[in-house]
Chain A
Amino acid sequence: NAGVTQTPKFRILKIGQSMTLQCAQDMNHNYMYWYRQDPGMGLKLIYYSVGAGITDKGEVPNGYNVSRSTTEDFPLRLELAAPSQTSVYFCASSAGSLGEQYFGPGTRLTVT
């Protein structure tokens, strides 16, 4: 049971490039989340999903897109990367809306 996995661990992008951050979970959780953590701060919710085919915006969705075609996978797409998107990105999952959230190891992204 791997829990929540994320790839890649690190990435450097040039301004204007695009990329997809991958997230997968093997706990059969319906709820999945993407957060970003800026230096010295807590995590902020970007997008979340309550099940396959259903996604919704969090607190800071601008510049990102998500999709949820399966229960296991929840990729995060960055279009036209900007320096303001330099951050550490965490994916999480939970069994329900009030369930305990479990986090992946994070992806450290730098946009220069």
Chain B
Amino acid sequence: GIQVEQSPPDLILQEGANSTLRCNFSDSVNNLQWFHQNPWGQLINLFYIPSGTKQNGRLSATTVATERYSLLYISSSQTTDSGVYFCAVVPNDYKLSFGAGTTVTVRA
């Protein structure tokens, strides 16, 4: 099956800092989503981004499908940004496959 690799595995930020999370995938995909899992376990949809660039407030994402990677940018980080960020892709078998996640800790 498709391999989804996220980096870094862990990230510690000071409040106000910027960061970039990366998602690499091993095969062509039809869909890519970014999720934030908050400390209470809830999965929150951030972006549905099979290609191109999208922005939502302090967050933005870019997917370059031809080069098999996606980036999630967090600007001016806040303590509420803490949690695990997951990248998930839909390859040709149409089944969503998740990466292992990046754990982000934002310190005040």
Question: Is the pair A45, B33 in contact by a Cβ cutoff of 8 Å?
Answer: no
- Any chain B CB within 8 A of the CB of A102? yes
Identify B42's interface contact among A59, A98, A105, CB under 8 A.
A105
A31 to chain B, nearest CB (A): 9
- Chain A, 87-112, CB within 8 A of any chain B CB: 88, 90, 92, 97-103, 105-106, 108
- Distance A97 CA – B95 CA, assembled complex (angstroms): 8
Task: Verify A42–B101 contact, CB threshold 8 A.
Answer: yes
> Size band of the A side of the interface?
20 to 34
Is A19 close to B, CB under 8 A? no
Of chain B, the residue at the smallest CB distance from A43 is: B98
Q: Does A2 contact B (CB under 8 A)?
A: no
> When the two chains form their complex, are residues A90 and B94 in contact, meaning their CB atoms are under 8 A apart?
no
Interface residues in B83-108 by Cβ distance below 8 A to A read: 86, 88, 90, 94-101
Query: Does A101 contact B33, Cβ atoms closer than 8 Å?
Result: yes
Which of A42, A48, A100 is B98 in contact with, Cβ under 8 Å? Answer: A42
Closest B-chain residue to A90, C-beta based?
Answer: B43
Give the residues in chain A near B4, CB-CB below 8 Å: 42
User: A residues within 8 A CB of B95?
Assistant: 45, 48, 58-59
List residues of A whose CB falls within 8 A of some B CB: 33, 40-45, 48, 58-59, 88, 90, 92, 97-103, 105-106, 108
Q: A42-B88, A43-B98 are in contact. List 5 more A-B contacts (CB 8 A).
A: A40-B100, A41-B100, A45-B96, A101-B33, A103-B35
Point out residues on B near A: beta carbons under 8 Å. 1, 4, 30-31, 33, 35, 41-43, 45, 48, 50, 86, 88, 90, 94-101
User: Which 5 A-B residue pairs are closest in the complex by CB-CB distance?
Assistant: A42-B98, A100-B48, A103-B43, A97-B94, A43-B98
